Amino acid sequence: MDGMAPEKGVGLGATIRAWRERLSPSDLGLPTGRTRRTTGLRREELAERAGVSVDYVVRLEQGRATAPSAQVVASLAGALRLTTTERDHLYRMAGLVPPNDAPIPDHLPPGVHRVLNRLGDVAVAVFAADWQMIWWNPGWAALLGDPSTSPLQPRNFARERFPVGPDDSDAVRIASWPVFAENSEASDLAVVSDLRRASGRFPHDARLAELIRDLTAGNKTFARLWASGTVAAHREDHKTVEHPEVGLVEVDCDVLTDGESELKIVILSALPGSANAAKLRRAMTADLDGTHAPTF
């Protein structure tokens, strides 16, 4: 009809149909008899290969289904034998971030490093997509304890948050890791769901896969929350630090993400001019000998 708005998702549907029709049935071991009315795969054949219903394929191609999940997009990409570039295009057309076939990056870009070094009275640390700690400033070490005193593998926030051991004992926690140590179901779920998000972004990363296997097998709380399937990102919180020299310090905890690398920049700060800001400055300049571990 004249003046009618174009259907949503028509671009996505038309692209899927074009890719379906370009496939040769013979290349997939399918019969190519004279009764076939399509030059490529039938919708029924694509649906079977992708593990979805025929009706859903029809709705996708007609633009009536416009938001397939990441799992469906991955299945369609495999069934359609897409190249990596085509697969990424399909993800973007579905409004999704394409998965990254490379390992989780541990590199801090020079520009980010420069900005972080110029921040004022804040405690800052940077974590990789799997919550592996890769950088911190002197203020972080002074406020929360020096992470360099911990072994490299446990220097992971998720491993500290969900210790592996008999009855999920806190005894295996790293002493210099007080960060986010409050027993909050919401905070626990935020970390677990953030890891699930990372598993979709970096599906082939060996370190992330090992982390999830270890925590699923060794921590009952993590296993229960992981089974919920929630996907989210850890963004902000309000915390109280118990510092051995200045006492309780209330701080805002903000988590910023650096683009496609999924680096997490964790910033602890206090309202300028407040009593907590003054205590934060004192805590960050205190001469700690490393024998005191501040706690949340």
pLDDT tens-digit readout, 106-141 = 888 888 888 888 887 789 999 999 999 999 988 888
Whether the Cβ atoms of residue 136 and residue 126 lie closer than 8 Å to each other: yes
Whether the Cβ atoms of residue 91 and residue 70 lie closer than 8 Å to each other: yes
Whether the Cβ atoms of residue 134 and residue 276 lie closer than 8 Å to each other: no
Closest CA to 282 of 121, 136, 120: 121
Q: Mean of the pLDDT values across residues 3-11?
A: 41
CA distance 136 to 146: 9
Place of tokens 């070490």: 141
CA distance 108 to 114: 10
- Rounded to the nearest 10 degrees, the angle between the axes of helix 220-227 and helix 185-201 is 60
Whether the Cβ atoms of residue 246 and residue 279 lie closer than 8 Å to each other: yes
CA distance 212 to 17: 37
Helix, strand or coil for residue 80? coil
Kindly indicate the confidence band of residue 35, based on its pLDDT and cuts at 50, 70 and 90. Answer: low
Residues in the chain: 296
CA distance 261 to 120: 25
Q: Is a pLDDT exceeding 80 seen at residue 231?
A: no
Closest CA to 43 of 72, 23, 64, 68: 23
Q: Mean of the pLDDT values across residues 248-259?
A: 85
CA distance 21 to 94: 20
Complete domains list, the chain, with CATH? 10-93 (1.10.260.40), 110-285 (3.30.450.180)
| 64-110 per-position pLDDT tens digit | 888 898 889 999 999 999 988 899 889 988 988 888 888 898 888 88
CA distance 86 to 20: 13
3-state helix, strand, coil in the chain (%, to 5): 45, 15, 40
C-beta neighbour count of 44 within 10 angstroms: 11
Q: How far is CA 198 from CA 109, 111, 128, 263, 264, in A?
A: 19, 23, 10, 10, 11
Question: In sequence order, what are the beta bridge partners of 239?
Answer: 251
Q: Is a pLDDT exceeding 60 seen at residue 6?
A: no
Closest CA to 220 of 148, 165, 157, 143: 165
Whether the Cβ atoms of residue 76 and residue 96 lie closer than 8 Å to each other: no
Tokens of 122: 């804040």
Q: Mean of the pLDDT values across residues 253-267?
A: 84
